[in-house]
């Protein structure tokens, strides 16, 4: 790392600290203004209440600039990430997060782009994102192209089963399986609990 990198890191750290400080101030100011607004409402002083509520809105907007709401991930994507975490970790370690992201974005594009009868290289499958067919064809794409693109072979048979799948295979309901899992954990019967012994 050179001098310019050190300066950039220092500036970034300073900026992050300033944002953290301002967020703390916003929280403190908001509590005070909210208390004043609520007191004005209780006192039937609606003019003051409106002013304080306006101040609350301004602080909420400023807070949102520093803390944008997190977009919720689609549940089937969460399931895919969970089931394929070993594969995704290997790819990330081997080629880095940027190359992994490019490869997965290409696969997503290939699955969702409309078919192009005139240029097969620019043709997609036209599948609806997150549909069952999207994931099935997606696993097929990973099996076909992952090793040459990332150096990591993908085998859809290596996916981790979801707890609900394991419960079904065990002949238990989800609740019965969760109860059995808690009982095993309390008895220290999982292999990961015995690593330090």
Sequence-distant contacts of 155-164: CB under 8 A, at least 24 apart:
158/86, 158/87, 159/83, 159/84, 160/82, 160/83, 160/84, 160/85, 160/86, 161/83, 162/79, 162/82, 162/83
Give the pLDDT confidence score for residue 82 in this predicted structure: 87
Give the pLDDT confidence score for residue 88 in this predicted structure: 94
Tell me the two tokens of residue 73: 């991930």
Span 3-18, mean pLDDT?
A: 84
Give the pLDDT confidence score for residue 195 in this predicted structure: 58
Is residue 164 scored above 70 in pLDDT? yes
More confident residue, 12 or 111: 111
Give the pLDDT confidence score for residue 66 in this predicted structure: 85
pLDDT band of 194, cuts 50, 70, 90:
low
Please state the pTM of the whole predicted model: 0.53
Tens of pLDDT, residue by residue over 85-104, are: 999 999 999 999 999 999 99
Is residue 179 scored above 80 in pLDDT? yes
Tell me the two tokens of residue 41: 């409402």
Tens of pLDDT, residue by residue over 109-162, are: 999 999 887 777 778 899 999 999 999 999 999 999 999 999 999 998 888 777
Is residue 192 scored above 70 in pLDDT? no
Tens of pLDDT, residue by residue over 30-87, are: 999 999 999 999 999 999 999 999 999 999 999 888 888 777 888 888 888 888 999 9
């Amino acid at each position: 790392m050179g001098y310019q990198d050190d300066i950039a890191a220092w500036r970034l750290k300073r900026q992050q600290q300033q944002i953290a400080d301002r967020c703390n101030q916003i929280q403190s100011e908001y509590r005070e203004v909210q208390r004043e607004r609520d007191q004005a409402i209780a006192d039937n002083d609606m003019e003051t209440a409106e002013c304080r509520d306006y101040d609350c809105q301004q602080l909420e907007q400023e807070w949102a600039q520093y803390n944008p709401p997190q977009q919720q991930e689609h549940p089937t994507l969460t399931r895919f990430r969970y089931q394929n975490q070993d594969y995704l970790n290997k790819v990330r370690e081997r080629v880095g997060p940027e190359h992994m992201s490019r490869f997965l974005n290409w696969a997503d594009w290939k699955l969702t782009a409309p078919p192009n009868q005139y240029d097969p290289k620019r043709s997609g499958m036209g599948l609806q994102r997150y549909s069952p067919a999207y994931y099935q064809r997606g696993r097929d794409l990973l099996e076909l192209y992952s090793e040459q693109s990332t150096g990591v072979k993908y085998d859809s048979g290596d996916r981790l089963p979801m707890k609900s799948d394991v419960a079904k295979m065990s002949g238990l309901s989800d609740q019965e399986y969760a109860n059995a899992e808690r009982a095993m954990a309390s008895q220290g019967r999982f292999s990961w609990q015995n690593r330090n012994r």
